[in-house]
Amino acid sequence: MLKKVSVTDIKTMKQKGEPITMITAYDVAMARNVDEAGVDMILVGDSLGNVIMGLSSTLPVTMDDMIHHTKCVMRSEPRALVVGDMPFMSYQADLAEGLRNAARFLKEGGCAAVKLEGGAEVCPLVEKLTAAGIPVMAHIGLTPQSVNQLGGFKVQGKDLQAAQKLIDDAKKLEEAGAFACVLECVPAPLAEKITRSLTSMATIGIGAGSGCDGQVLVCNDLLGVSAGFCPKFVKKYADLHSITVNAVKNYCADVKARSYPGPEHSFKMDDAVLERLY
């Protein structure tokens, strides 16, 4: 059996300048596939609210939704390090609730780390979780749980003050003990500057250019599972939407034409038994 990826391995990859790969997965089948492909980390993202549950934001996603999908992913027994995403209002109200909910990811979900959104304001929680043995991935820049505060899904850190705040937040999160930090929708030169200013916390970019320590994408985006809007930063490596629609059209046509199922898909029985039936 291959050795499982640990938080220490991710830190070592940062030190060595070895690019880190992360992708989301929400169920056992996808987790098996992405793990077989050799990804370093799997994120059970609260983006499941959008891509699995059909919600227009991640805000309604609950702890129970997240634990359910984390368990599904963990049943794939992946080699990759699995990170569970703490949903909106599972950690913002107070430290004790944040600690209890983060612990649920490890105790019930079975994953090895949690992700939470926010900068300096979440540092006390990051310290508490790491002290309790719960590795934390931070998330700054475009933080979808604050979409109402941010006024939409926009690139962050474009002016001097906002850019400096992202650098300061990243340094504070590193000091607080986060092992990695997602940088979402941040200008590429700023993401590179943040990455270079950190010594132990790996940056994982999404819409943040190639200067980060690693990259993450939502599996449904990368695989082109659905037609319609796709963010500028996504590279579609497959068009599963067309493949799925064509396959199902062919299936429907075969059933209508009674050409499926064929003898090769059917089970035989003894003629003598058949003949005695009335």
Using CB under 6 A, list all residues that contact ligand KIV. Answer: 24, 43, 45-47, 85, 139, 182, 184, 206, 216, 218
- Which residues are part of the catalytic machinery? 184
Q: What's the length of the chain? A: 278
Question: Which residue number, 228 or 262, has a Cβ lying nearer to ligand KIV?
Answer: 228
How far apart are CB 143 and ligand KIV at their closest, in Å?
A: 8
Question: Which residue number, 169 or 184, has a Cβ lying nearer to ligand KIV?
Answer: 184
| Calculated CA dihedral for residues 181, 187, 189, 190, nearest 10 degrees | -50
Query: Both tokens of residue 90?
Result: 């599972």
How far apart are CB 150 and ligand KIV at their closest, in Å?
A: 14
Q: Could you identify the residue written with the tokens 């979440």?
A: 122
Per the CB < 8 A criterion, the answer to whether 192 and 170 are in contact is: no
Question: Which residue number, 141 or 177, has a Cβ lying nearer to ligand KIV?
Answer: 141
Question: Which residue number, 87 or 98, has a Cβ lying nearer to ligand KIV?
Answer: 87
Per the CB < 8 A criterion, the answer to whether 232 and 188 are in contact is: no
Query: Both tokens of residue 126?
Result: 């990051």
Q: CA 196 to CA 212: how far, in whole Å? A: 9
Q: Which residue's CB atom is positioned nearest to ligand KIV? A: 45
Q: Residue 258 carries which side chain, given as an amino acid letter?
A: R
Q: Residue 150 carries which side chain, given as an amino acid letter?
A: L
How far apart are CB 109 and ligand KIV at their closest, in Å?
A: 15
How far apart are CB 133 and ligand KIV at their closest, in Å?
A: 23
